[in-house]
């Protein structure tokens, strides 16, 4: 019950040593310091920086998207918050130019809403996804709020609320004008949101692109799936749900803490992370600053985690990973049955990584089995050879292999 409090106490107790390690790293590496001339100064500096990075707090990173190349021109980009709700902000990355001809070209490009996962990391994990899409699209994204920063007075937030948020954002942009891309966790609630809109006779998005998500978690179960099915829901309630301590704005809120999720991420590939840190130390010692900086960029993002509302987390465990209500056709959201077969005017593309160890093979492609109302000509699937979970939306494979197909799909169905 008091794990979160003990975690915060330990973090604050370690803070002086962590800050001292940062100072040591700087002073032993500073060419203007006599300490940098001592034998072994490089190793002392490298060791202290590694210690600092292992113990420091990682705040939410910035987007750092100031400009992109589009239509052969370099255009500035600014961040806009269009809708601000207690647990999420709808953001737009707006491109600007004073060239009238270029303005018309940018306006004619497809509009994409990227629904970021609420699964431990901040939406900035999709920075590469957004930056790439901005070349040829108008881009919006869901920016989920760390639950420890949401006052208890704002109420609970469950999976049903997540779906309502997605529907509100789609309507705000214009359902019949937008393409929706969901990455990992949101594939399930996004499919539910659009299904319910279709069942109600509302306009639905022009297309859906679903990437590496557990539409049917019964297919090729992974380590993540096994954990959820091995333990009853009560185990999760009693072991991973904790109370936010002071001085956070969400003091008293029940959450699945980000530090526990981060520990789970590390536990899936401990040897890989150990070697990555060892290589970082070696790069610092030998002066390979480019590789060292790549390590910093990756872990600045990877180690920045957020807390999830307990209601949302437990709903996801039960509905998606234990009872499989969506593929079984038994999921009701606020009393209304989720019927993907009712979607008829929205094109569908599913994307999986061949080596994905989070969402197994077939889990995302299962969407096609459920969406029987969509004509075959408007459906497409892609399995990315050699790609893991992150490779389908970030990095070289995303940019060179996945994105060209995604772009073509959006443009095809934007007419």
Nearest to 257 by CA among 240, 239, 245: 240
Element containing residue 74 per DSSP (H, E): strand 73-85
Which pLDDT score is estimated for 62?
A: 93
Do 329 and 388 reside in the same domain of the chain? yes
Which pLDDT score is estimated for 301?
A: 84
Look at residue 244 and tell me if it is in a domain: no
Look at residue 200 and tell me if it is in a domain: yes
Look at residue 28 and tell me if it is in a domain: yes
Which pLDDT score is estimated for 1?
A: 57
Are 341 and 192 a contacting pair, CB within 8 Å? Answer: no
Do 193 and 270 reside in the same domain of the chain? no
Do 124 and 183 reside in the same domain of the chain? yes
Alpha helices in 303-365 (DSSP H): 310-316
pLDDT above 70 for 408: yes
Write out pLDDT tens, residues 345-359.
Answer: 999 999 999 999 889
Cis peptide before 247 (omega within 30 of 0): yes
Write out pLDDT tens, residues 128-140.
Answer: 999 999 999 999 9
Alpha helices in 30-137 (DSSP H): 41-55, 100-107, 127-133
Buried b / exposed e across 30-41, counting CB within 10 Å, b at 16+? eeeeeebeeeeb
Beta strand pairing call for 254-256 and 242-243 = antiparallel
Averaged pLDDT, 203-224: 94
Count the helices and strands in the chain (H runs, E runs): 15, 14
Do 179 and 212 reside in the same domain of the chain? yes
Look at residue 240 and tell me if it is in a domain: no
Do 372 and 270 reside in the same domain of the chain? no
Are 254 and 314 a contacting pair, CB within 8 Å? Answer: no
Q: Who has greater pLDDT, 255 or 228?
A: 255
Structural domain ending residue among the three candidates 271, 302, 333: 302
What is the C-alpha to C-alpha distance for residues 153 and 151, in angstroms, rounded to an integer? 5
Residue whose structure tokens are 């292992």:
54
Do 296 and 388 reside in the same domain of the chain? no
Do 332 and 405 reside in the same domain of the chain? yes
Which pLDDT score is estimated for 57?
A: 84
What is the C-alpha to C-alpha distance for residues 67 and 75, in angstroms, rounded to an integer? 5
Look at residue 180 and tell me if it is in a domain: yes
pLDDT above 60 for 216: yes
Question: Confidence class of residue 186 from pLDDT cuts 50, 70 and 90?
Answer: very high
Q: Who has greater pLDDT, 29 or 212?
A: 212
Question: Confidence class of residue 184 from pLDDT cuts 50, 70 and 90?
Answer: very high
Residue whose structure tokens are 């996962």:
117
Nearest to 209 by CA among 70, 415, 411: 411
Do 312 and 385 reside in the same domain of the chain? yes
Nearest to 209 by CA among 395, 321, 367: 367
Do 182 and 298 reside in the same domain of the chain? no
Look at residue 242 and tell me if it is in a domain: no
pLDDT above 60 for 36: yes
Assigned token pair, 266? 């590390």
Q: Which domain holds residue 18?
A: 3-57+258-302
Look at residue 75 and tell me if it is in a domain: yes
Structural domain ending residue among the three candidates 269, 302, 335: 302
44 φ/ψ sector (left φ>0, alpha ψ -120 to 50, else beta): alpha
3-state class (DSSP) for residue 289 = helix
CATH of the domain at 388: 3.40.50.1820
Question: Confidence class of residue 341 from pLDDT cuts 50, 70 and 90?
Answer: very high
Are 43 and 50 a contacting pair, CB within 8 Å? Answer: no
Do 10 and 71 reside in the same domain of the chain? no
Assigned token pair, 339? 């019927």
Phi, psi values for residue 117, rounded to 5°: -70, 145
pTM of the model: 0.91
Residue 396 CB partners (closer than 8 Å, separation 6+) = none
Look at residue 162 and tell me if it is in a domain: yes
Which pLDDT score is estimated for 106?
A: 95
Which pLDDT score is estimated for 278?
A: 86
Do 285 and 317 reside in the same domain of the chain? no
3-state class (DSSP) for residue 58 = coil
Structural domain ending residue among the three candidates 302, 331, 362: 302
Q: Who has greater pLDDT, 52 or 198?
A: 198
Taking all residues of the chain, what is their mean pLDDT, rounded to a whole number?
Answer: 93
What is the C-alpha to C-alpha distance for residues 183 and 214, in angstroms, rounded to an integer? 10
Alpha helices in 174-309 (DSSP H): 187-199, 223-230, 233-239, 258-268, 270-286, 289-302
Do 88 and 179 reside in the same domain of the chain? yes
Write out pLDDT tens, residues 279-334.
Answer: 888 888 888 888 888 888 888 888 889 999 999 999 999 999 999 999 999 999 99
What is the C-alpha to C-alpha distance for residues 170 and 158, in angstroms, rounded to an integer? 19
Q: What is the 3-state secondary structure (H, E, C) of 387-402?
A: CCCHHHCCCHHHHHHH
Averaged pLDDT, 145-172: 97
What is the C-alpha to C-alpha distance for residues 145 and 85, in angstroms, rounded to an integer? 9
Write out pLDDT tens, residues 105-122.
Answer: 999 999 999 999 998 899
Question: pLDDT > 70: what percent of the chain?
Answer: 100
Count how many domains the chain has.
2
How many alpha carbons fall within 13 Å on the CB side of residue 298?
A: 13
3-state class (DSSP) for residue 143 = strand
Assigned token pair, 113? 């809403």
Which pLDDT score is estimated for 10?
A: 82
Sign of CA dihedral 178, 182, 186, 189: positive
pLDDT above 80 for 269: no
By CB atoms closer than 10 A (0-12, 13-18, 19+), residue 97 is middle
pLDDT above 80 for 2: no
């Amino acid at each position: 019950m008091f794990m979160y409090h003990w975690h915060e106490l330990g973090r604050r107790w370690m803070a002086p040593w962590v800050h001292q390690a940062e100072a040591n790293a700087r002073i032993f590496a500073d060419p203007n310091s006599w300490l940098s001339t001592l034998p072994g100064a490089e190793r002392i500096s490298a060791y202290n920086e590694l210690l600092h990075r292992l113990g420091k707090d990682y705040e939410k990173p910035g987007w750092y998207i100031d400009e992109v190349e589009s239509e052969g021109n370099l255009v500035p980009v600014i961040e806009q918050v269009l809708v601000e709700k207690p647990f999420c902000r709808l953001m737009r990355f707006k491109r600007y130019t004073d060239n009238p001809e270029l303005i018309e070209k940018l306006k004619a490009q497809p509009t994409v809403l990227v629904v970021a996962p609420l699964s431990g990391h901040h939406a900035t994990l999709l920075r590469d996804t957004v930056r790439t899409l901005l070349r040829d699209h108008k881009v919006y994204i869901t920016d989920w709020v760390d639950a420890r920063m949401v006052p208890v007075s704002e109420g609970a937030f469950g999976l049903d609320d997540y779906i309502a948020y997605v529907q509100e954002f789609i309507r705000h942009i214009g359902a019949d004008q937008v393409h929706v891309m969901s990455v990992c966790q949101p594939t399930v609630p996004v499919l539910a949101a659009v299904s319910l809109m279709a069942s109600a006779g509302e306009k639905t998005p022009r297309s859906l692109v679903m990437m590496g998500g557990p539409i049917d978690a019964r297919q090729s179960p992974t380590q993540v799936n096994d954990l959820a099915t091995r333990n009853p829901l009560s185990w999760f309630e009693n072991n991973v749900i904790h109370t936010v301590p002071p001085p956070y704005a969400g003091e008293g809120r029940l959450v699945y803490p980000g530090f526990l999720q981060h520990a789970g991420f590390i536990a899936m590939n401990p040897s890989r992370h150990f070697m990555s840190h060892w290589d970082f130390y070696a790069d610092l010692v030998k002066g390979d600053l480019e590789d060292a900086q790549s390590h910093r960029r990756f872990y600045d993002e990877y180690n920045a985690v957020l807390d999830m509302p307990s209601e949302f987390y437990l709903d996801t465990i039960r509905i998606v990973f234990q009872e499989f209500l969506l593929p079984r056709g038994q999921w009701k959201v606020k009393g209304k049955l989720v019927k993907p077969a009712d979607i008829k005017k929205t094109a569908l593309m599913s994307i999986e990584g061949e080596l994905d160890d989070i969402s197994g093979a077939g889990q995302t492609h299962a969407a096609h089995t459920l969406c029987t109302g969509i004509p075959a000509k408007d459906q497409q699937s892609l399995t990315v050879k050699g790609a893991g979970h992150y490779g389908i939306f970030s990095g070289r494979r995303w940019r060179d292999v996945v994105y060209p197909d995604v772009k073509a799909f959006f443009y095809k169905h934007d007419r």
